[in-house]
Structure 1
Amino acid sequence: MPAKDIYHNTVKNALIKDGWTITHDPLRIRLARGKNLFVDLGAERLIGASKNKENIAVEIKSFTRPSDMKDLEEAVGQFVLYDHLLKRYYPEYKLYLAVPEKIRKNVFEEEAGQTLIEDKIISLFSFDIELEEIITWIV
């Protein structure tokens, strides 16, 4: 089992405050030949008054390296891999990258990050570290 991101519990608490139920911690993607990958969290919530559920998988990234671009490269690679595998094995889940609000502003409002959002390569949400709340959803 992989190590948890430093903001794992922060994001988990923020999702719960936002009305999500944590269903997997972590969400395991079972591959052929006994291999596994682990997305940090799986969550669900009811959609409006209907009994339908919305399911999300969340990969948490703290961006702690000296280079935000190196962190971005790694996060995008992992996101794309997990996104494609989820579509194959768990199509009911939509994958999100969870980043601190400061990272959303510093990385995803710049050209490289904006390109990923505009070209619909990634979906993300940002969170407030201290308040443990979700700030912005970007689908």
Structure 2
Amino acid sequence: MPARDIYHNMVKHALIKAGWRITHDPLRLQWGTRDMYVDLGAEALIAAEQQDQKIAVEIKSFIGPSEIEDLRNALGQFVLYRTILETTEPERTLYLAVREATFFAIFDEPVGKLLIEQQDLHLIVFRPDHEEVIQWIP
């Protein structure tokens, strides 16, 4: 089992507050002989526009010595997981969960905006101190 990100429980609680039911903690992906784990799997509980929605959430703290290295690693993991999910669970959308400070430091900058657009990157922006989701992109 992989180690949990330091924000794991905060994101989990934020999703529950936002009306999601956690179905997997973690969500196991399997391809060939390889096992991989996305941090969370969830289904919408409320709101008509979220009916039958399933998501997978990979949580990233971006606390390493290099933001660009953290970004490269997170993006590589995101692309790998999304590729497998598109085949095994095409109804599930993969999101990368980042804290608000990380969003503004990386994803609200030109390189982050380029990745969101060109890589079809889905983000959940959260506030760890309030355990709340503040933005879904897209």
TM over 0.5: yes
Contact between 1:47 and 1:53, CA under 8 Å: does it hold in 2?
A: no
Describe the SS at the equivalent of 1:80.
helix
Distance 2:71 2:37 in 1: 19
Report the counterpart of residue 61 of structure 1 in structure 2: 60
Report the counterpart of residue 18 of structure 2 in structure 1: 18
| Structure 2: unaligned runs, 5 residues or longer | none
| Structure 1: unaligned runs, 5 residues or longer | none
- CA spacing shift, 1:102–1:30, aligned 2, 3 Å: same
Residue 48 of structure 1 deviates from its aligned partner by: 4.0
Describe the SS at the equivalent of 2:120.
coil
Report the counterpart of residue 96 of structure 1 in structure 2: 95
Distance 1:43 1:10 in 2: 15
Q: Structure 2 matches for 1:1-139, cutoff 5 A? A: 1-33=1-33, 35-46=34-45, 48-49=47-48, 52-139=51-138
Describe the SS at the equivalent of 1:86.
helix
Backbone CA RMSD of aligned residues: 1.6
Describe the SS at the equivalent of 1:53.
coil
- Deviations, residues 6-41 of structure 1 (Å, cap 9, x unaligned): 0000000000000000000000012223x2100000
Describe the SS at the equivalent of 2:53.
strand
Contact between 2:44 and 2:50, CA under 8 Å: does it hold in 1?
A: no
Distance 2:22 2:96 in 1: 16
Distance 1:50 1:68 in 2: 35
Contact between 1:42 and 1:55, CA under 8 Å: does it hold in 2?
A: yes
| Range 117-126 or range 50-59, more displaced | 50-59
The sequence identity of aligned pairs, in percent, is 53
- Deviations, residues 81-136 of structure 1 (Å, cap 9, x unaligned): 00000001111110000000000000001111010112243110110010000011
Contact between 1:30 and 1:36, CA under 8 Å: does it hold in 2?
A: yes
The letter for the 2-side match of 1:11 is V
Distance 1:114 1:85 in 2: 24
